[in-house]
């Protein structure tokens, strides 16, 4: 009995914590935790429920129509803050808070993390090249199909590399995106379209703002 009470108490604390740290209401946090539970594996009885990479990729694919394996893996890593290869309840709710309801500042920090593949704090030419090559279909007939991508990288650097060191720092990136929100996903889709966000939220019983 005491045990159950303690469990309920720590559960309530978790829900309140996540509510405070996220854009979700208390009842929405509870709904998201239920969804986490449904999708989680609990390998041993003492383990906390966790969502694995494949399950998360399925959710991105089915719920948000994000179909790019390379980017979906990067999205997983952006959610997986402690890099243990699983999404805990906290990582799930806080990740979704930015993903579904984040401010532009939160979203740009998130997309930066997605694109900064080696997590060194910069988006390098090579990283840009990889993402653009992955998301842009080049003409096979062209003599050098990579030429167009290289040109595009130079355009991006000209636009965003404010301190001219040939790579994008978070500061460069921030400055550029805040000026032009449309560039937020410039290296490939890693956020859901509003219609899928609303569909997802209402399907689990959360409040949604109608799209105008
Ligand atoms: Ca984790
Ligand atoms: Ca990097």
Distance of CA 109 from the midpoint of ligand 2 (Å): 14
Partners of 168 in the beta sheet? 123
Distance of CA 85 from the midpoint of ligand 1 (Å): 6
Distance of CA 154 from the midpoint of ligand 1 (Å): 36
Q: Per the structure block, which two tokens stand in for 4?
A: 């159950």
Question: Is the Cβ–Cβ distance between 23 and 12 less than 8 Å?
Answer: no
Distance of CA 90 from the midpoint of ligand 1 (Å): 9
Tell me the ligand closest to 84's alpha carbon: 1
Q: Region 36-50: what's the mean pLDDT?
A: 79
Tell me the ligand closest to 76's alpha carbon: 1
pLDDT at 44 over 70: no
pLDDT in tens, 130-162: 999 888 766 666 677 788 899 999 999 998 998
Tell me the ligand closest to 89's alpha carbon: 1
Question: Is the Cβ–Cβ distance between 190 and 76 less than 8 Å?
Answer: no
Cα 174 to Cα 154: distance, rounded to the nearest angstrom? 18
Tell me the ligand closest to 51's alpha carbon: 1
Tell me the ligand closest to 124's alpha carbon: 2
Which CATH number applies to 2-203? 1.10.238.10
User: Three-state DSSP class for 107?
Assistant: helix
Cα 120 to Cα 107: distance, rounded to the nearest angstrom? 19
pLDDT of residue 132: 92
Tell me the ligand closest to 131's alpha carbon: 2
Cα 17 to Cα 105: distance, rounded to the nearest angstrom? 21
Ion ligand 2 contact residues with beta carbon within 5 A:
116, 118, 120, 122
pLDDT in tens, 66-118: 999 999 999 999 999 999 999 999 999 999 999 999 999 999 999 999 999 99
Q: String of b and e for 38-69 (b: at least 16 CB within 10 Å)?
A: ebbeeeeeeeebbbbeeebbebbeeebebebe
pLDDT of residue 43: 58
Cα 167 to Cα 121: distance, rounded to the nearest angstrom? 10
Q: Which DSSP state fits 117?
A: T
Tell me the ligand closest to 78's alpha carbon: 1
Distance of CA 49 from the midpoint of ligand 1 (Å): 11
- What's the pLDDT band for 48 if we cut at 50, 70, 90? confident
pLDDT of residue 140: 61
- The residue extents of the domains of the chain are 2-203
Distance of CA 180 from the midpoint of ligand 1 (Å): 32
């Amino acid at each position: 009995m005491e045990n159950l009470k303690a469990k309920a108490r720590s559960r309530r604390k978790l829900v309140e914590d996540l509510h405070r740290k996220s854009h979700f209401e208390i009842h929405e946090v509870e709904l998201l935790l239920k969804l986490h539970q449904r999708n989680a594996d609990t390998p041993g009885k003492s383990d906390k429920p966790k969502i694995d990479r494949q399950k998360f990729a399925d959710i991105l694919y089915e719920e948000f129509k994000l179909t790019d394996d390379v980017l979906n893996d990067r999205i997983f890593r952006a959610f997986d803050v402690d890099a243990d290869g699983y999404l805990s309840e906290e990582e799930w709710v806080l990740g979704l808070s930015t993903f579904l309801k984040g401010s532009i500042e939160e979203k740009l920090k998130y997309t930066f993390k997605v694109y900064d593949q080696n997590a060194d704090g910069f988006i390098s030419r090579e990283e840009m090249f990889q993402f653009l090559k992955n998301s842009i279909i080049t003409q096979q007939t062209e003599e050098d199909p990579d030429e167009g991508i290289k040109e595009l990288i130079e355009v991006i650097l000209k636009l965003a590399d404010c301190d001219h060191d040939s790579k994008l720092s978070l500061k460069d990136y921030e400055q550029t995106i805040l000026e032009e929100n449309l560039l937020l996903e410039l290296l490939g889709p890693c956020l859901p379209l509003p219609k899928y966000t609303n569909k997802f939220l209402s399907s689990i019983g959360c409040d949604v703002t109608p799209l105008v």
